Structure 1
Amino acid sequence: MENREDAVRGVKALMFDFYGTVVDMQRGLTEAIAPYLAAKGYTANPPSRVVTWWRRTHFENSMIDALLHREHTPYREIGRQAVHYTLDRAGIEHTDEEVRGLVSQIERLKPFPDVVDALSDIKAHGLDLVILSNGDVDMLASGVPYSGTEHLWDRVISVAEAKSFKPHADTYRTGARLMELEPEQVLFVANHAFDCVGAKAAGMKTAFIDRRKRPFGNSTYPPDLVVEDLAHLAQMVMRGRAGSGLTADR
C-alpha cells in the first residue's frame, strides 16, 4: 500500500460510491421494511437479515447484468426482482405495489453521521467531489437531495451513462471521461471491496472505507488507502495534500 502522500499525489477528484458508502443502506432499508414485516406477521427472521437477503440478491443480479454486458437493466428493475425473490424466499405474500413501495425506499436514505463534515473538509481543500453510482439517473436525482449532501457534489454520474453496472471497467472509464480526467487523477472511494477492485483495475487510485472491519480480500488490486470512515479519509487527504505542497487553490 502506498503512503498517504503518494495516494493523493496527482489526484484532482474524489469519486464516491453512493449506496452503502455515503448513505447507510442497510440501516435505512431495515427501518423501512420492519413495519412492513410486522404488518405481515413475519417473525421468522429479523428485518436486518431480510434486508441482507434483499441486498445480496440485488448485488448478484446486477453483477450478472454487468457480465452479460447487453442491454442495461435499470437499477430500479433489478431492485424489484430482488425484493420479489426475497419475499418469496421468506414465504410472504405480496403485491407488485408493495414491492415498488419497498424499492422506493432506496431514494430515502440518510448519510452516515461523519459524511457531511468530512466531505465539506475535503472540498475545502480544492478537490472535486463526484458520485459514480449504480443507481438510475432519476433515483439519484431524488436520493442525493434527500441525503442532504446535494450541495457538496460537483457531479452525480449514473452508470446508466456507461450502460453497465460497476465493477465493469466501462463505468469507471466513463466516469473519468465525463470529468475530463485521466483515471489516475481520480481517487475512488467505496465501502465495498469489489468497487475498489474495479476502479483500481481501471487505473484509478482507491480508498477502502472499512466500516465493517473486514479483510479487503484482494491482493491483486489492493486499495491505496484503508480508512475507518470518511472522517478518517478527510484527515488522510488533507495531510497528503499538505505534504505534497498543494493548497485549496490547486
Structure 2
Amino acid sequence: MRHTAYVFDAYGTLFDVHAAVRRHSVKVGPDAQQLSDIWRAKQLEYSWVRTLMGSFMDFWQLTEQALDFAFAKVPSADPQLRQDLLEAYWQLDCYPEVPAVLKALKADGARLAILSNGSTAMLEAAVKSAALDQVLDDIFSVDAVRRFKSDPAVYDMVTTAWRLYPDAVSFQSSNRWDVAGAARFGFRTVWINRSSQPDEYRDLQPDLILPSLEGLPTGG
C-alpha cells in the first residue's frame, strides 16, 4: 500500500551512525566497532533518561557526552581522535539505497520528511552532505518540543504541521523502540531491520518489516 506522506527517522535509517568511526577506524584501532557501538548506545540512553527527567539537552551535547563515555570504556582508543570523530558525525554517509528510494517516492508525488532526535543544525548538515535537500519537504527536529522519541509529542509534530491523521503517515525507522512509539501514536510503521535484530515490543507490531528501504512501495 502506497501512502502520500512518508516520514523517516534519520540516524540508523537514512544515515549510517557508524560511518564516523569507520572513517577513522585505522587510527582508532582494533576496538573501533566497540567504540562506535558504545557511542551509539549511550547517545540513545541519554536521550531517554533526559526525557524521563524532563531535562532536555541538545542532541549534539548528548552525542559529545556519549563519545566521552565511549572513550572511557575503550582505553585502547586514543581520546585525541575526539574532534575528528565529532566532525565526521556531521557528514555521516547515507545508506546506498536512500537517494534512489527517496527520489522515486518524490516522483510518485509523495510528501517526504525526516523526524529525528537530532538537532536542527545536525540534520541540516547531514541532509546537505548527502544531497537529500532537494527531495525532502520538511525536517522535524525534537528541538521544537524539547522531548526525545518516543514521546508522543514528537510524532505529533508531523500530523499537526501537515494536518493529517496519524494513519495517513508511513513512518520508517531502523530503531524498533522508535517503531513501537510511532505505532502507539497511530502511524503506519515500517521497521527497517538492517541488522536482523529479533523482534520486541510485540504488542506494538510494525505494519511491515524490511531489511532496507528498497522494499518500500514506489511507482505505479
Amino acid at match of 1:19: Y
**Residues 161-200 of structure 1 aligned to structure 2 (within 5 Å):** 161-200=144-183
Task: Report SS of the residue matched to 1:123.
Answer: helix
Corresponding residue for residue 145 of structure 1: 128
How far 1:104 sits from its partner (Å)? 2.8
| 2-structure distance, mates of 1:30, 1:48 | 8
Task: Please give the TM-score of this superposition, normalised by the length of structure 2.
Answer: 0.92
How far 1:35 sits from its partner (Å)? 4.1
Equivalent residue in structure 1 for 2:15, among 10, 23, 31:
23
Corresponding residue for residue 128 of structure 1: 111
Larger displacement relative to structure 2 (154-163 or 210-219): 210-219
Task: Please give the TM-score of this superposition, normalised by the length of structure 1.
Answer: 0.81
How far 1:182 sits from its partner (Å)? 2.2
| 2-structure distance, mates of 1:204, 1:162 | 19
Corresponding residue for residue 51 of structure 1: 36
Task: Report SS of the residue matched to 2:68.
Answer: helix
Task: Report SS of the residue matched to 1:118.
Answer: helix
Task: Flag structure 1 segments of 5+ consecutive residues without an equivalent.
Answer: 243-250
- Indicate whether 1:12 and 2:8 are aligned: no
Richer in helix (by share): 1
Amino acid at match of 1:56: A
- RMSD of the TM alignment (CA)? 1.8
| 1-structure distance, mates of 2:109, 2:54 | 36
Q: Deviations over 1:8-66 (max 9, x none)?
A: 4xx4311000111011222x12323424424xxxx4x2x11210011111111111112
Change (3 A) 1:198 1:225: same
Report 1 or 2 for greater relative contact order, CA contacts < 8 Å, sequence distance ≥ 6. 1
Corresponding residue for residue 247 of structure 1: none
Q: Spell out structure 1 runs of 4+ moving beyond 6 A.
A: none
Aligned residues: 219
Given that 2:20 and 2:89 are in contact with CA atoms closer than 8 Å, whether structure 1 keeps it comes out as yes
- Indicate whether 1:202 and 2:185 are aligned: yes
- Indicate whether 1:37 and 2:22 are aligned: no
Change (3 A) 1:13 1:32: same
Change (3 A) 1:93 1:24: closer
Identical amino acids, percent of aligned pairs: 25
Given that 2:167 and 2:188 are in contact with CA atoms closer than 8 Å, whether structure 1 keeps it comes out as yes
Corresponding residue for residue 246 of structure 1: none
Larger displacement relative to structure 2 (197-206 or 103-112): 103-112
